[in-house]
Structure 1
Amino acid sequence: MSLTGALTLAATAAPAVAAADPYTATATGTVFAPNPVQQLGLQTLTDAKDADLPVFAPAYRTVTLTDLDGSGTLTGRYVRVKSGTGAAARATGGAFPAYHRDADQFEQVMGYYWVTTAQRYIQSLGFGGSLRPVNQRQIELRIDQYGGDNSFFRDDKANISLGKGGVDDGEDAEVIVHEYGHSVQDGQVPGFGTTPESGAIGEAFGDYLAVAVSSWATGTPTRTDEACVADWDSTSYTNAPHCLRRLDGDKHYPQDVVGEVHADGEIWSRALWDIRTALGDRRASTLIIEAQFAFAPDTTFAAAAQATVAAARRLYGSAAAGAVTTAFTARGIL
């Protein structure tokens, strides 16, 4: 074939067609937003063995689930749900049935909605747009597959398991988002959290993200303290006012270090809370998440704090860096 003929064929060939996006479907579903204690302001609520008591009725919300694959299942761009109990939730005509807490499928819908909402929050900060993507992968969310009152993220399988002891963890959005926080950090720094201090940072960030996402999605709570994490899940193991942990504690480094990651994480989370108070949610969360790309899997409090100050300076200038430095200095970290 002559060169002229080859050029003619190339010029007339049909342009390549981009593959269709498989995750454009939506469906309605029913959730707590974020949990009934926070919504209703009732510290006397109890699990009552998953009973759908009339007192819970005002806490249910109809929401739109996005980024679904259109199969009618809870499979989407950022999460696929797998349940250990009960049949899988299934949508018909663009709507999941209005499951309530006495149905296993309610927690399946909760899990899908709140993981997707957490990722949408992160993207609203600019990640995946003007900033590099953060954890834009599909994770597996396992509902009621652990009998204890605990949930966990497994970095070797990139999945989250939500427990069913006490109040089922899938009923509290802040527990779901806390666990997604571990997935976020693992997506940024594979294997993150290999030492007591880095593990504490992981627990602290999960708590911070849980509060930031729930307030972004539903508004700052008016009937409970915003700094209180997982008000509903914690009714099974705390006295009123119920909190799994708080972001506004007064622990100080190193005097209050006890070698347990959840307890020690309250030192780091208070610093994050103070950064948010000083700079506002959007700037604080953006620099906090951006800084984590520079963390080592076994980072120390001091090294991670220095990376966070550097991210603040790079993104927002010296005044923001000063506010971040002040927050970490107040905790004894810098």
Structure 2
Amino acid sequence: DVVATVSEAQALRAAIGDFAAEIDLQPRETELVILPEELRSETVFRLVYEIEFSSNQPAGDWLAYVDAKSGKLLKRKNRVHYTDVAGQTNADVELLQSGDPQQRRSIRYADLFLKDGDETIAKTSSDVNGSYALTPEVDGTYTLVAPLAGDFGVVMNNTNGDATPELTFIVDSSLGGAQAVTWTDSNSLVQDRDAYYWAMFSRDYIKAVDPAFDLLDYPMPIVTDLVDNECNAFWNGIGITFYPAGQQCANTARSASVVIHEYGHGITDFAYRPFTPSGAMHEGFSDYFSATILNDPIIGHGFTGPGTSIRNIEPDRRVPDDVVGQVHTDGLIIAGALWDVRKELGSAVTDQLFHFARFGYSDNFDDYFFDFLLEDDDDGNVYNGTPNFAVIVDNFKLHGIGDYSINVSHEKLKDSEDTSKSFDFTASFLSIFQIDASSVELHLKTERDGSTTTETHAMSPTGETREFTYNLTPQMEGTKISYWFTSADTTGGTSTYPEGGEEDPFTFTVGVDITPPTIAHTPLSDQPVDHDGISVIAEVSDNLELGVGDVLAQFTQNELEPDKFELLPLSGDRFAGEFTLKAWDVGDLIAYSISAEDLASDANMALNPEKGDYSFEIVNGVGRNFEATDGALVADGGTWEWGAPSFFLESGASGSNAWVTNLDGPYDNNVGAELTMGPIDLSTWDKAVLRFNHAYDIE
């Protein structure tokens, strides 16, 4: 039915009927339309008048809908949007220490609410400059509520029952103009203002260094005036807490450096998770964070009175002379090194290196120093120097931080029965300083037929990074070679490798081999009757360069006919095999031993154990080694795969195969990954123990 029973004039009167008589209304357009309206679970279509009109006081562009059958006003909306409640949020804060003349500063990221009674009409937050704007849909008189809280921090005064300070104002949006929100001594506590201001300042400082760092972008608790405490402050994993003033100390929330220091703990904590640096690094990083923001090496100005402080990172403390085993004191060493670098490179460069070097997750000063150099590196090879190498090394070395030794890497030569082959002695010499190529030498002591000769040979670069080699001509049978390396860097540092040099050298022999292999094996405990294979793992190595030949496991079941199976190489010296039991039951006793032969011209054999056997019993239980099958496990979530891993694992715990979250790459981020085995009926068991092997590599 699209026939109106109410006239346009009647509809217009309904649309404007409750406006004050003095308001200048100007009707513009009236039209019959169909208006869909949701009622409970169905849509109702109404024939309505759509009426547009404007007003000058207040300014309005009105749209109204009047039922064309009943003449009832259904809805009316002013399409003029206002920015009527706007202004600046400021606070009087202390810029360094308790008692300083207060300065007015912008309060950033603080929440502001426009309320009509208990109903929130509009919500916003102040920007980095403290500006805000709230837009009500309809003009009126409202309450402006401004807590000292926002998306990145919430002040909670513990002495006041963890209450968040809050200011309120009565505002009339129709009047326009600005409404300043100003926190002063007349309406708030200075410790609350100081703590919020410096926490937000710290947040913005680290965001300027690392814009992607959002791990602290949550309403962090900023607790002030912790009851029954004094003279301290702390980071507790989620927020920062400050103590009230005591007889001998200032309120810690009123110290800019203390607030920044504690916020710095939060940055380090979240940057390192799930790892953690040493306590001294944690403290030193926070001290430096405060110092670089304030451009002042002193921490805790005026803490126990005028002219006093808590710490000063300026003095050149060093390892090991100034290490006392107290984290705040020891932290001054790393903080001092960073401060000295900053004095030469400036805050912009140093703060970048300081912050991003933490993502190397080092837990000691020396490793952090190397991460610092890696962060400074610009070509993927820290060993050829970095843009700021000299400044960084000089200042960290001044504080006794850094490994400046020459680290030698070399795979020891093995014995040989081949008198026709030559021998390559290859080693890499790594140091943060340049290696003096002319200093790299191989020292040989040759013993044969009762005579000994000693020679020194210069080694030649291979073309690989700091790798050198020397080729020794074939040796006669019965020759014993002892050898060691020496080298020097361009600063005069020297190295002998092995450290004992001639007194404790590497050795190998040329001639008939009579030394058997070495077998390392952890004896098996009792094994479950419900299993898909019982694995034997052994580490087998030999002195001869040819490696290991056959590795076998011999076993008997219940002292019956002996049997055997082969252990095959997995990776490195690791060998694995599986018992070939044809049938088994609870109570069966398995005795076994492992043998290995080398590849000498006259093979040498080793046994483990040297005498007798290991043994285990078949017991009630369930076990899976995942070699032949996936064990019927059910994967839920993540990218579980069963097979031979090729990423960070060289093999499974029981042989080649395992269940892995991605066989050939890292696990997926932000997923829950579960494996389910069973159900297993334990109703007849007296007790049960769950044992499993696992490995992980996380960042």
- Structure 2 length normalisation: TM-score? 0.36
Per the alignment, residue 12 of structure 1 pairs with none
Q: Deviations over 1:277-310 (max 9, x none)?
A: 11101111111011112224xx011111111111
Q: CA–CA distance in 1 between the matches of 2:316 and 2:183?
A: 45
Q: Does the alignment pair 1:308 with 2:372? A: yes
Contact 1:230 1:244 in 2 (8 A): yes
Task: State how far apart, in whole Å, the 2-side matches of 1:132 and 1:159 are.
Answer: 17
1:34 to 2:34 alignment:
no
- Quick one: structure 1 residues 330 and 25, their matched pair in 2 at CA, closer, same or farther if it must change by over 3 Å? farther
Matched with 2:350 is 284
Cα 1:82–1:253 shift into 2, 3 Å: same
Corresponding position of 1:294: 360
Q: Does the 8 Å contact 2:192/2:253 carry over to 1?
A: yes
Q: Which residue is 2:282 aligned to? A: 202
Distance 1:119 1:314, change over 3 A: farther
2:201 match: 117
Aligned to 1:229: 299
Does the CA contact (< 8 Å) of 2:154 and 2:164 recur in 1?
no
The structure whose residues are more often helix, as a share, is 1
Instruction: Choose from 83, 96, 106 the match for 1:64.
Output: 106
1:79-127 Cα deviation digits (max 9, x unpaired) = 1111112464223444233127xx86211111111010011112223x1
One-letter amino acid of the counterpart of residue 91, structure 1: L
Does the aligned pair in 2 maintain the 1:251–1:267 contact within 8 Å? yes
| 1:95 paired to 2:160 | no
Q: Is residue 172 of structure 1 aligned with residue 246 of structure 2?
A: no
Matched residue SS, 2:225: strand
Secondary structure class of the residue paired with 2:92: strand
* Partner Cα distance (2:87, 2:391) in 1: 42
Q: Which amino acid aligns with 2:190?
A: F
Partner of 2:220: 139
Unaligned runs of 5+ in 1: 1-23, 37-55, 216-225
Q: Which residue pairs with 2:683 in the alignment?
A: none
- The higher relative CO (CA closer than 8 Å, separation ≥ 6) is in 1
Report deviation, 1:320: 1.8
Give the 3 Å change call, closer, same or farther, for CA 121–331 of structure 1 in structure 2.
same
- Asked if 1:78 corresponds to 2:152, the answer is yes
1:314 to partner: Cα distance: 4.4
Evaluate the alpha carbon distance shift between residue 98 and residue 285 of structure 1 in structure 2; reply closer, same or farther with a 3 A threshold: same
Which is greater in Rg?
A: 2
CA spacing shift, 1:26–1:301, aligned 2, 3 Å: farther
Q: Is the 8 A contact 1:89 1:96 kept in 2?
A: no
- 1:264 shift after superposition: 0.4
Change (3 A) 1:261 1:62: same
Compared CA separation, residues 210 and 255, structure 1 to 2 (3 A)? same
Measured on the aligned residues, the alpha-carbon RMSD in Å equals: 2.6
Q: Matches of 1:320 and 1:313 in 2, distance apart?
A: 8
Secondary structure in structure 2 of the residue aligned to 1:27:
strand
Q: Is the 8 A contact 2:276 2:361 kept in 1?
A: no
CA distance 1:132–1:84, shift in 2 (3 Å)? closer
Equivalent-residue separation in structure 2 for 1:170 and 1:191 (angstroms): 29
Look up the equivalent residue of 2:104 and give its one-letter code.
T
Structure 1 CA distance for aligned equivalents of residues 148 and 292 of structure 2: 24
1:151 aligned residue (225, 230, 233): 233
SS at match of 2:241: strand
- Cα deviation, 1:159-189, whole Å, max 9, x if unaligned, reads 1110123210011111100000100101211
**Alignment partner of 1:269 out of 335, 346, 353:** 335
Partner of 2:192: 108
Residue type at the aligned position of 2:222:
L
Q: Against the structure 1 CA distance between its residues 26 and 182, is the aligned structure 2 distance closer, same or farther, given a 3 Å change threshold? A: farther
Residue 134 of structure 1, CA deviation: 5.8
State the distance in 2 between where 1:91 and 1:319 align: 52
Change (3 A) 1:97 1:134: closer
Alignment of 1:319 with 2:387, yes or no, is yes
Distance (Å, rounded) in 2 between the aligned partners of 1:90 and 1:26: 15
The one-letter code of the counterpart of 1:65 is I
The residue type paired with residue 151 of structure 2 is: R
Q: 1:230 to 1:144 in 2, by over 3 A?
A: same
Q: Which amino acid aligns with 2:183?
A: P
Identity percentage of aligned residues: 23
Q: 1:175 to 1:330 in 2, by over 3 A?
A: same
- Aligned counterpart for 1:250 among listed residues 281, 306, 316: 316
Contact between 1:162 and 1:170, CA under 8 Å: does it hold in 2? yes
User: 1:138 Cα deviation (Å)?
Assistant: 3.1
Query: Aligned to 2:344, what secondary structure does the other structure show?
Result: helix
